[in-house]
Amino acid sequence: MPKIALIGAGSMVFAKKLIGDILSFDELSDSHIALMDIDKHRLTQTQRVAEAMVENEGLETTVSATLDRREALEDADYVLNMINVGGTEPFENEIRIPEKYGVKQAIGDTTGPGGIFRGLRTIPTILGLADDMEELCPDALLLNYTNPMAILCKAVFDATNIEVVGLCHSVPHTAEAIAEYTETPQDELEYWVAGINHMAWFLTCEHDGESLYPALKEAYDDEETYRKDTVRFEIMKHFGAFPTESSHHMSEYLPYIRTDDALIEEMAGTNFAERMPTATYLEGWLARSEERDDPELDVDLNEVSVERSEEYASRLIHSLETGTQRRFNLNVSNESNAIENLPADACVEVPVFVDGTGLHPASVGELPTQLAALDRQHSAIYELAVEGALEGNREKVHQAVKLDPLSSAACSLDELHEMTEELIEANADYIPDLEWPSKQNPERAVPADD
């Protein structure tokens, strides 16, 4: 009877999906699911739905709900993290302040100034969670769903003894897209994917032993198909591999597209999700927040049932509990040298075999040089962001932003300095205290305008 704690369970739609996944396995149906959130209203909504699922299915699962994180964590076997720290104000700052400087982020939750500052405001909380785990459930596995994935996982790698793995659905979603573009049944695809979160690469993708890349290249030449995924098709054309994040999101990992409104319009896809406007995720998040704050629960509890989604968490837990071997693409530390030409302390997304003995990252070898170069730049940014947060080092946060490809394509160094200072001041209530190293070491120079 494993105890599975969901931290940030007030995100009812996602929590319901994960709970349904867990309950869909007979071997996990006697679990204790501990729900925790700081928002009582949203937590209560999730609790009611979870209890209805258990009752409607006639399961032995027990459900508890608490506003106390430590209570939820005590003796847990698995901890699923899906928190959002800070709410509306810092999120708007992270998108709108860079937008004033010409940095037009589409999503802004994993990379760029938005991802860096979301990381800064989330690191203290996830480290607090890990500290509690070290005391209350030191052998539990932390399954992280919260973005920025690579930054948060690396912070836990670097500052705690807790085992953490990052879960993201971008690989199966990309496999679904490739299956559509090549008119191939998705369940018949064979692929090998590695890189970093949201910038991993389909190194191979086959059907019946034949590579699908020739078919993808034909799809590139078909205007209707090309318009469904413009940026990813262009990246495949110029760098030789299909990436794992949508065109809309991928566009902000690169310096080539989002600095010019005409080019953004030219690259816009046929679906709204791929039209690539600025602040799409922010605006959608604000709309969903209003819906979630509705005092009425817009769910028929008598009709709530258990269904299994594409998310990895339940399958991963099931493999660890039953010994069933599965392979997932997961975000793990590169300490095992899974990708030889990325830093050993980076967070990488690689094939991982999971069974009753634990998690076993596969050895990928070296990425092609051009793909490793793209991933190394972002890995360096994430490293600086984590070091800046852990050390309270203002200079490293500045350097992380100045290395961001989209920001550096849009702004001068002085503009990036001013933008970063504005972000630090606007979000001071949510991020660690940051000082210039010169305050600790007089030999280090402080920028003249500070």
Integer Cα distance of 450 and 445 in angstroms:
10
Compute the half-sphere exposure of residue 237: CA atoms within 13 Å on the CB side of its CA.
12
CA distances from 195 to 158, 270, 381, 385, 439 (A): 20, 28, 15, 19, 37
CA distance 221 to 25: 43
Looking at residue 352, the DSSP 8-state letter turns out to be E
CA dihedral for 311, 139, 150, 211, sign (positive or negative): negative
- Active-site position among 32, 41, 169, 360: 169
Residue type, 119: G
Q: How far is CA 299 from CA 15, 19, 55, 256, 295, in A?
A: 14, 16, 15, 44, 12
Q: Are 220 and 372 in contact (CB under 8 A)?
A: no
Instruction: Read off the DSSP letter of residue 127.
Output: H
**Please, which contacts does 224-227 make with residues 24 or more away whose CB atoms are closer than 8 Å?**
224/270, 225/181, 227/269, 227/270, 227/274
Confirm whether 169 is a catalytic residue. Answer: yes
Angle between helices 88-100 and 112-136 (to 10 degrees): 150
Catalytic positions: 169
